[in-house]
């Protein structure tokens, strides 16, 4: 790892971070290495000042920061701080010790087949999280993948959005995507969506296994032509990997797998002590030692490597101070790991002892608001009330709704089925995957979902401008069903002031998930978090910190359980089975059984330096905090 020293005009401090040096620079900006008051290392992206003269560029950066802060997951580097209104905007993400994939292959040769499969699984999980946040990476290349001690990390997600220059000019080195790993859509300057990233993933995995891109030519023009028009030669690729890579390289975006389909094809991976060859782990450990030498404050310790490689802490030397020997350095690291474990245990005990006394609940809205009404809605009763006698002829659905079959969905929405198909209505739905249509119903903005095939979906946004929740309607079938979808949504909106409420006051459906834990508790347990959840809907809530936490209330029939955790007093948690490559931990607490289903609270924790086990410890402490806040059952 090469960190360039600061020069005379470089800032010594950005926000609350002391700047240690320059990690890299390009046409759009540069990346600095910083350290926070808590001793955490961060990578600070700072935009070049001259770009701020472009009309609306600051607004573009603000929108990009807003989107980027919603990306979380085990295989990305989460954004933890930013300033879009300062003289020079900046964005800080967790600094991850790792080796870029292109450098790893260049110095160590192509990766073994099991390692490529592990890499593929980790990157697919990362793309799932990025796409769930409504982003298309558009520059997935070996240089934007870091190999860390416990798996891969995707960095610079969405950076292509920043390289759209409003003036039409192109900054040096700021092409939208890297040519050898572009998709055909990018090569032909067409619009791109999520499948574009899957094509780039296929090219990247080919390179990881062979040492070269499948489309690179003698010039940029030849490379772009090959991507758009030439079938790749898969002969250099090991036969065991061809069935995994080839589907990603379809020229037709519709023929490429989604990240979920890709992960299903990979299946279960073999157990490995370390994800990468020993030489790569050696380089990662060397980076950790370089961080030790770089940091000027020996008291600002911070573990930044993962799992068994927790070797990074600051230990810069003062004038006249002796260089610490390896044994004493190892003892300091061991003490820090012990202190971190004790801190988590203390949080668990504190959660039992004082519950929410030390902080205000973080409910998403005041009682009586629209979201509360949607949360407490009997959605099927509302749908029947809104459509009674109003189903249009020729819709393909019976006009007599008494012939419809109604059932409650997993998030207390309503599923209605007839011979004509299936309709799903969700009240208080998260609209992050919906896009504005430019239409309105009763003064409400209408959104549409365009990422799925085989259904028509519309949603009415009932939230404030900086939030995204409302009522959605989805019907299986082609675009001909959209007329009925629009009719149903219109009828629901016309009756939104008389929404029938659930009669079961003890149901989890009526509980605000954002109000189950205090801000003080989560801020201490998972690192600095904003006062307001980064994302929420009627039945889910997400906070972004060094360990992003999602609390969701839901119904389910079956669950793939890996193990159980006994909390005592007859209370237990189920740990959801996860791929061995992910550090995400999802815990389930069964609240009550309703017919053949169970109502449950789920807590998902990702990120963090302790891997899946460490995230499960954090999740358990969150569960201990929130369970006493649930409605008491008779």
Q: What is the 3-state secondary structure (H, E, C) of 500-561?
A: CECCCCCCHHHCCHHHCCEHHHHHHHHCCCCCCCCEECCCEEEECCCCCEEEEEEEECCCCE
Instruction: Calculate the alpha carbon distances from 13 to 67, 90, 189, 200, 438 in Å.
Output: 25, 12, 40, 37, 43
Lowest mean pLDDT among 204-213, 229-238, 280-289, 463-472: 463-472
Higher-pLDDT residue of 254, 56: 254
Higher-pLDDT residue of 459, 634: 459
Distance CA 104, CA 420 (A): 55
- Determine the pLDDT at residue 612: 80
Top mean-pLDDT range of 12-26, 117-131, 195-209, 590-604: 195-209
Q: What is the 3-state secondary structure (H, E, C) of 148-177?
A: ECCEEEECCCCHHHHCCCCCCCCCCCCCCC
Residue with the two structure tokens 């799932």: 128
Q: How far apart are the first and last CA of the chain?
A: 60
Instruction: Calculate the alpha carbon distances from 113 to 209, 277, 437 in Å.
Output: 7, 11, 45
Backbone Cα Rg of the chain = 26
496, 507 in Cβ contact below 8 A? no
Distance CA 567, CA 352 (A): 11
Distance CA 548, CA 338 (A): 22
- Determine the pLDDT at residue 100: 92
Distance CA 111, CA 37 (A): 38
Band the pLDDT of 151: cuts 50, 70, 90. confident
- Determine the pLDDT at residue 336: 36
Give 209: exposed, middle or buried? Use CB within 10 Å, 0-12, 13-18, 19+. Answer: buried
Query: b/e map of 386-424 (b: 16 or more CB within 10 Å)?
Result: bbeeebeeebebeeebeebeeebeebbbbbbeeebeebb
**3-class secondary-structure state, position 88:** coil
Band the pLDDT of 72: cuts 50, 70, 90. low
DSSP string, 192-232: --HHHHHHHHHHHHHHHHHSS-SS--SSHHHHHHHHHH---
DSSP string, 562-587: EEEEEEETTEEEEEEP--TT---EEE
Band the pLDDT of 70: cuts 50, 70, 90. low
Q: Which residues contact 477 (CB under 8 A, 6 or more apart)?
A: 396, 421, 454, 455, 456
Looking at the domain that runs over 13-266, which CATH code has it been given?
Answer: 1.10.510.10
- In this predicted model, what pLDDT tens digit does every residue of 333-350 receive, in sequence order? 333 332 333 232 222 222
Instruction: Calculate the alpha carbon distances from 292 to 45, 95, 97, 316, 337 in Å.
Output: 22, 14, 12, 7, 16
Say yes or no to pLDDT of 168 above 80.
Answer: no
Maximum Cα–Cα distance across the chain: 89
31, 23 in Cβ contact below 8 A? yes
Q: Which among 81, 139, 429, 574 is annotated as catalytic? A: 139
- Determine the pLDDT at residue 407: 93
Instruction: Calculate the alpha carbon distances from 332 to 45, 61, 68, 283, 413 in Å.
Output: 31, 41, 35, 22, 53
The whole-number average pLDDT for the span 541-557 is 87
Band the pLDDT of 60: cuts 50, 70, 90. low
Say yes or no to pLDDT of 351 above 60.
Answer: no
Say yes or no to pLDDT of 204 above 70.
Answer: yes
Band the pLDDT of 301: cuts 50, 70, 90. very low
- In this predicted model, what pLDDT tens digit does every residue of 302-326 receive, in sequence order? 333 333 333 333 333 222 333 334 3
Active-site annotation holds for 150 = no
Say yes or no to pLDDT of 523 above 70.
Answer: yes
In what helix (H) or strand (E) does residue 240 lie, and over which residues does it extend?
A: helix 239-245
Q: Which of 348, 391, 599, 631 is nearest to 516 (CA)?
A: 631
In what helix (H) or strand (E) does residue 243 lie, and over which residues does it extend?
A: helix 239-245
Distance CA 449, CA 455 (A): 9
Tokens of 180: 């050898």
Distance CA 559, CA 16 (A): 43
Residue with the two structure tokens 């079956």: 558
- Determine the pLDDT at residue 580: 59
Q: Per-domain residue ranges for the chain?
A: 13-266, 297-341, 370-498, 512-629
- Determine the pLDDT at residue 595: 83
DSSP structural state of residue 185: H
Top mean-pLDDT range of 53-67, 135-149, 455-469: 135-149
Lowest mean pLDDT among 40-54, 357-371, 470-484, 613-627: 357-371
Task: Tell whether residue 45 is among the known ligand binding residues.
Answer: yes
- Determine the pLDDT at residue 406: 95
Band the pLDDT of 543: cuts 50, 70, 90. confident
Say yes or no to pLDDT of 296 above 70.
Answer: no
- Give strand pairing partners of 600: 554, 590
Band the pLDDT of 74: cuts 50, 70, 90. low
Band the pLDDT of 96: cuts 50, 70, 90. confident
**pTM check: above 0.85:** no
- Determine the pLDDT at residue 176: 46
- Determine the pLDDT at residue 271: 67
79, 69 in Cβ contact below 8 A? yes
- Determine the pLDDT at residue 453: 54
- Determine the pLDDT at residue 320: 31
Q: Mean pLDDT of all residues in the chain? A: 78
- Give strand pairing partners of 360: none
């Amino acid at each position: 790892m090469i960190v360039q020293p600061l020069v005379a005009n470089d800032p010594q401090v950005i926000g609350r971070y002391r700047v240690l040096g320059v990690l890299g620079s390009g046409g759009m900006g540069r990346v600095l290495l910083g350290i926070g008051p808590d001793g955490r290392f961060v990578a600070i992206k700072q935009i070049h000042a001259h770009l701020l003269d472009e009309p609306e560029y600051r607004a573009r950066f603000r929108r990009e920061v807003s989107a980027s802060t919603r990306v979380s997951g085990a295989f990305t580097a989460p954004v933890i701080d930013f300033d879009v209104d300062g003289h020079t905007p900046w964005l800080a993400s967790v600094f991850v010790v790792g080796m870029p994939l292109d450098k790893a292959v260049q110095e160590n040769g192509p990766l073994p087949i099991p390692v490529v499969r592990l890499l593929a699984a980790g990157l697919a999980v990362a793309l799932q999280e990025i796409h769930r946040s409504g982003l298309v990476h558009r520059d997935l290349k070996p240089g934007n993948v870091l190999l860390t001690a416990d798996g891969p990390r995707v960095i610079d997600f969405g950076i292509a959005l920043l390289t759209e220059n409003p003036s039409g000019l192109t900054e040096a080195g700021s092409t939208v995507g890297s040519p050898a790993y572009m998709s055909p859509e990018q090569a032909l300057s067409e619009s791109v969506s999520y499948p574009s990233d899957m094509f780039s993933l296929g090219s990247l995995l080919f390179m990881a296994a062979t040492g070269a891109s499948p489309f690179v030519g003698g010039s940029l023009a030849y490379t772009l032509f090959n991507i758009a028009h030439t079938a790749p030669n898969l002969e250099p690729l090991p036969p065991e990997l061809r069935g995994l890579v080839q589907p990603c390289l379809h020229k037709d975006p519709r023929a490429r797998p989604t990240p979920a389909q890709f992960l299903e094809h990979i299946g279960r991976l073999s157990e490995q002590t370390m994800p990468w060859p020993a030489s790569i782990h050696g380089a990662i450990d060397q980076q950790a030692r370089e961080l030790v030498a770089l940091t000027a404050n020996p008291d600002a310790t911070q573990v930044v490597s993962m799992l068994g490689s927790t070797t990074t802490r600051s230990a810069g030397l003062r004038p006249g101070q002796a260089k610490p020997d390896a044994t004493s350095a190892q003892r300091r690291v061991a003490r820090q790991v012990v202190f971190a474990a004790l801190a988590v245990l203390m949080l668990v005990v504190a959660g039992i002892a004082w519950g929410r006394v030390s902080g205000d609940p973080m409910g998403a809205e005041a009682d009586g608001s629209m979201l509360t009404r949607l949360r407490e809605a009997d959605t099927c009763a509302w749908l029947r009330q809104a459509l009674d006698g109003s189903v249009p002829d020729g819709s393909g659905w019976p006009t007599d709704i008494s012939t419809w079959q109604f059932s409650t969905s997993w998030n207390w929405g309503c599923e209605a089925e007839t011979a004509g198909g299936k309709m799903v209505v969700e009240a208080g739905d998260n609209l992050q995957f919906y896009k504005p249509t430019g239409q309105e119903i009763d003064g409400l903005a209408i959104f549409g979902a365009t990422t799925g095939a085989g259904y028509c979906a519309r949603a009415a946004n009932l939230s404030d401008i900086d939030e995204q929740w409302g009522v959605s309607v989805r019907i299986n079938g082609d675009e001909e069903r959209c007329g009925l979808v629009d009719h149903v949504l219109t009828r629901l909106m016309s009756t939104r002031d008389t929404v029938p409420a659930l009669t079961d006051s003890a149901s989890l459906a009526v509980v605000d998930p954002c109000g189950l834990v205090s801000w003080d508790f989560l801020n201490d347990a998972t690192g600095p978090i904003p006062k307001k959840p980064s994302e929420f809907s009627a039945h889910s809530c997400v906070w972004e910190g060094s360990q992003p936490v999602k609390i969701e209330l839901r119904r389910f029939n079956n669950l793939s359980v890996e193990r159980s955790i006994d909390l005592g007093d007859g209370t237990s948690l189920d740990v959801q089975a996860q791929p061995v490559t992910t550090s995400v931990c999802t815990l389930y607490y069964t609240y009550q059984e309703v017919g053949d289903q169970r109502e449950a609270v789920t807590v998902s924790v990702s990120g963090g330096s302790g891997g899946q086990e460490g995230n499960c410890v954090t999740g358990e402490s969150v569960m201990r905090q929130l369970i006493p806040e649930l409605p008491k059952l008779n």
